[in-house]
Amino acid sequence: MQIHLSDDGVPLYQQVVQQIRHRILSGQLSGGDEMPAIRTLAERLRVNPNTIARAYRELEQAGLVEKRRTRGTFVSASPTSMSAKGKREAIEPAIDQLLVLSQGLGVDAKELSQWILRRDEELQRKRGESS
């Protein structure tokens, strides 16, 4: 699993959480997939194992991964059954990036929301055509 850490001020554990969350929700990681061991991932990323343990705890609290005693940490069977808070926390970073970009381009929130709704309709149509 490739995880890229930067020194942009975002805590390392949050960077790990965001990247793993994205991989799970985008389908790159599937229910039942085994996560790297805490120590293994910490060594690979050259961070303290407590950083990875904290990231895994947060992912577990969000319902994205589950610990299995003596067997390790695995992607939850149904990560879409996340709590409302977990879903919001998963989406907010992308919303923040989109808002910063749109504000920089002079697009107001009302216009942006119309574009989002239009784009959602287009994607729904494409999914319907491919089924």
pLDDT at 27 over 90: no
Specify the CATH number of the domain 12-75: 1.10.10.10
What's the pTM value of the predicted model, to 2 decimals? Answer: 0.68
- What the block records as the tokens of 17 is 């959480």
> What DSSP character marks residue 35?
P
As a whole number of angstroms, the distance between CA 16 and CA 5 comes to 8
Tens-digit pLDDT profile for residues 41-52 = 999 999 999 999
Average pLDDT (46-64) is: 94
Confidence band, pLDDT 50/70/90 cuts, at residue 126: confident
- What the block records as the tokens of 105 is 């381009």
pLDDT of residue 108: 93
pLDDT at 81 over 80: no
Mean of pLDDT over the chain: 89
Per-domain boundaries in the chain? 12-75, 84-130
Radius of gyration of the chain (CA): 17
